[in-house]
Amino acid sequence: EVQLVESGGGLVQPGGSLRLSCAASGLSLRSYAMNWVRQAPGKGLEWVSTVSGSGGRTYNADSVKGRFTISRDNTKNTVYLQMNSLRAEDTAVYYCVKGRYYMDVWGKGTTVTVSS
Amino acid sequence: DIQLTQSPSFLSASVGDRVTITCRASQGTDNYLAWYQQKPGKAPKLLIYAASTLQSGVPSRFSGSGSGTEFTLTISSLQPEDFATYYCQQLNNYPLTFGGGTKVEI
């Protein structure tokens, strides 16, 4: 069974940092673009970042540009999201998602809460 | 950026009803348009990709159509397990964008 498992979420103060991880099982991620998508409490879905299969290209939403960095380690079959300078509006469930032209495998999500 | 406008944002329906949700894009998406279903507390699930291709394992009562800037998700006969929120997404250009969602309730 193909699974994506996120970890690293938690409570952090404004201005703080967190690193999310997404570990894959049941498939090798190296051939696939990977994404982070978030959902604030009671709100819709928001795309955050994408990394290409090789890791050579990354794309970020304007709302996180300069603060968040997506990366991957294909030897560990893992994708990361380094989040710096966190703000209250970054509070959300963060999903790790596989795919470029459609997102067919989603993790269960990890919750990030930014609050003092 | 490509803006996606879903309508309606809320839909009240009954079991057995035919339900149609529309997604309008502010510019063409080359049919890189997907539909997802999300139930409370769960991750979204891919239903349709490339505007009209049914994802493996998704019941055939779900269908997608459209091209250019106007797309439709249709549920031919609503089942109890279909009460959820539905989102469209364009994957043609970065930034990738989602529609605002359509909540389907009894």
- Contact flag A44-B44 (C-beta cutoff 8 Å): no
DSSP chain A: --EEEEE--EEE-TT--EEEEEEEESS-GGGS-EEEEEE-TT--EEEEEEE-TTS--EEE-TTTTTTEEEEEETTTTEEEEEE-S--GGG-EEEEEEE-SSS--EE---EEEEE--
Q: Which of B38, B91, B98 sits opposite A102 (nearest CB)?
A: B91
- Of the pLDDT bands very low, low, confident and very high (cuts 50, 70, 90), residue B84 is very high
The pLDDT mean for chain B works out to: 97
Q: Residues B33-59: what's their mean pLDDT?
A: 98
- Residue in chain A closest to B101 (alpha carbons) equals A44
Q: Which residues, numbered 72 to 101 in chain A, qualify as contacts with chain B under a Cβ-Cβ cut-off of 8 Å?
A: 95, 99-101
pLDDT for B106 equals 81
Q: Residues B40-44: what's their mean pLDDT?
A: 97
pLDDT tens digits, one per residue of B47-68: 999 999 999 999 999 999 999 9
User: Smallest CA–CA separation between A15 and chain B, in Å?
Assistant: 25
Q: Residues B4-17: what's their mean pLDDT?
A: 97
In this model, does residue B70 exceed pLDDT 90?
Answer: yes
In this model, does residue A1 exceed pLDDT 90?
Answer: no
pLDDT for A55 equals 86
pLDDT tens digits, one per residue of A49-93: 999 998 899 999 999 999 999 999 999 999 999 999 999 999 999
The pLDDT mean for chain A works out to: 96
Q: Which of B96, B98, B102 to mutate to test the interface with A (most CBs of A within 10 A)?
A: B96
pLDDT for A6 equals 98
For residue B29, give the nearest of B76, B82, B66 by alpha carbon: B66
User: Smallest CA–CA separation between A71 and chain B, in Å?
Assistant: 17
Q: Which residues, numbered 51 to 80 in chain B, qualify as contacts with chain A under a Cβ-Cβ cut-off of 8 Å?
A: 55
Q: Structure tokens of A36?
A: 């982070």
- Measured in residues, chain B has a length of 106
